[in-house]
Amino acid sequence: MNLSELLDNRDGQVYRLLFYDCRPLLQHILANYNINDSQREYDCIMDFYLYLRGDEEPFAMLTAIKSEKALPSWLKTVFSRFMARRANHDGQTDYSDSAFDKIPDDEEDSRIFTISDLNTAITLIEQINTSYSAPERVIFFADIDALASNRHSTDEIISVLHCTEGNLRVMRHRLKKRVQQTLAKLTTND
Amino acid sequence: MTDTLIYKYAYNQCTPDERRAVRDMLVSDFSECFAVVGLMKTRAVNDIESSMLKAPALALAVSPKERRKTLEKGRRGLPDVDACKNAPAPKALPDIAYDEEMAEMSEPIMIKEQAFGMSMYFDEMPLQPAPDFLGILNRYLQSE
């Protein structure tokens, strides 16, 4: 299995690589951009995670890596380049409450879809389980599991994802939008 | 048998026939939906907690010189890299979920039902009527 396939199939491990195993290395680079608070730090690394999952270019570079020991230095190079490009575009997420309220809803999907039958619900859960990223799956299934047993899931998710409450709030909001879009497609196909 | 099938379903290891069988079972006995969600959550958490590095501490290699340079720039709260280097590597978790993700391509697997303790897991799951399951999903999606 090459690393491109590895990224496709083991996105949870890539998440761990960035947010657990190599986080100090990435923090070191982030410090050069005066990004010192955990919220912005997580935001930058999450953007990088999404970039790795969605861009063809790093895949080609990853496949050239022959040994595990080379992975951190590869990561350092690619992340430095990513951050330089990001700084040029001044891209960052504002976590203030007012900014959170302004997260734009996709007009096409602004309608709230509801699940009326068990078949649709099962198909939706199957799709989330097979095609969503690992952090999205953790949030969704932990939330549903907690709701079913009248618990709160926030602390549990934060400890797994190593993120802040603000990070989780934004990710949860985006996740719900995405699930609504998936549900809309399922409902339309019916 | 049921526990094994549900486990394979949550871990994307079912053949198409097995997948249909599980779906039929979930529609007729919706209380199992919560068990499936619980297993899918466990899979997602395990997925993140298993490292692709044999020795994750290797990845923390920031040279002392570089580290000093960063600290001098006013960086606060950087984790103690030297301490992290000596941290034990996390236990390797069995990765049965990803090698053959597609159901059609999956190899048949042998699961010792007792070994996973799944029977006990399912016994402890609260029985919920289907409207509650749909209600919970809808409530979640509509909440802010």
Segments making up each domain of chain A, as ranges: 3-89, 97-189
Q: How far is B23 from chain A (nearest CA, A)?
A: 7
pLDDT in tens, A39-92: 899 999 998 888 877 766 665 566 566 677 777 788 888 899 889 888 777 655
Decide if pLDDT at B60 tops 60: no
Mean pLDDT of A116-121: 85
Question: What residues of A are in contact with residue B26 (Cβ under 8 Å)?
Answer: 118, 122
Minimal Cα–Cα distance from B52 to chain A, Å? 6
Q: Which residue of A has its CA nearest to B53?
A: A68
Q: Measured between CA atoms, how close is B116 to chain A, in angstroms?
A: 20
Q: Where are the domains of chain B?
A: 1-50+94-144, 51-92
Residues of chain B in contact with residue A12, where contact means CB-CB under 8 angstroms, are: 44, 46-48, 50
Task: Name the DSSP letter for residue B99.
Answer: T
B99 vs A52, A88, B56, B86, B129, CA distance in Å?
20, 39, 21, 31, 35
A22 pLDDT more than 60: yes
Going by C-alpha positions, the residue among B101, B136, B111 that lies closest to residue B31 is: B136
Share of chain B above pLDDT 90, in %: 16
Euclidean distance between CA atoms B67 and B64, whole angstroms: 5
Round the average pLDDT of chain B to a whole number and report it: 66
State whether B62 and A130 contact (CB < 8 Å). Answer: no
Amino acid of residue B2: T
Structure tokens belonging to residue B54? 């044999």
Q: Is B77 near chain A, with CB under 8 Å?
A: yes
Q: Quick check: B125 pLDDT over 80?
A: no
* Contact between residue A166 and residue A95 where contact means Cβ atoms under 8 Å apart: yes
Residue B80 pLDDT: 47
What is the rounded CA–CA span in Å between residue A131 and residue B30? Answer: 23
Run of H or E including B114: helix B113-116
Q: Is the pTM of this model over 0.90?
A: no
Residues near A65 by beta carbon (within 8 Å), at least 6 away in sequence = A3, A71, A74
pLDDT value at residue B68: 57
Q: What is the DSSP string of A118-129?
A: HHHHHHHHHHHH
Selecting from B44, B61, B79 the residue whose C-beta is nearest the C-beta of A134 gives B44
Instruction: Answer yes or no: do A148 and B60 touch at CB < 8 A.
Output: no
- Distance in angstroms (rounded) separating the CA atoms of residues A169 and A133: 17
Inter-chain contact B142–A130, Cβ cutoff 8 Å? no
- Enumerate residues 6+ apart whose C-beta is below 8 A from A185: none
| C-alpha torsion sign, points B36, B38, B43, B44 | positive
Would you call B124 exposed, middle or buried from its count of C-beta atoms within 10 A (0-12, 13-18, 19+)?
exposed
Min Cα distance A27 → chain B (Å) is 7
> Which two three-digit tokens encode residue A142?
């932990």
**Range scoring the smallest mean pLDDT among A167-171, B66-70, B73-77:** B73-77
**Which of A43-47, A97-101, B64-68, B134-138 has the lowest average pLDDT?**
A97-101
Cross-chain CB nearest to A21 (options B56, B95, B144): B56
Nearest CA in chain A to B75: A31
- The answer to whether the beta carbons of residues B39 and B125 sit under 8 Å apart is no
Cα within 13 Å of Cα(A179), Cβ side: 30
d(CA A40, CA A23): 13
The better pLDDT of the pair B113, A71 is held by A71
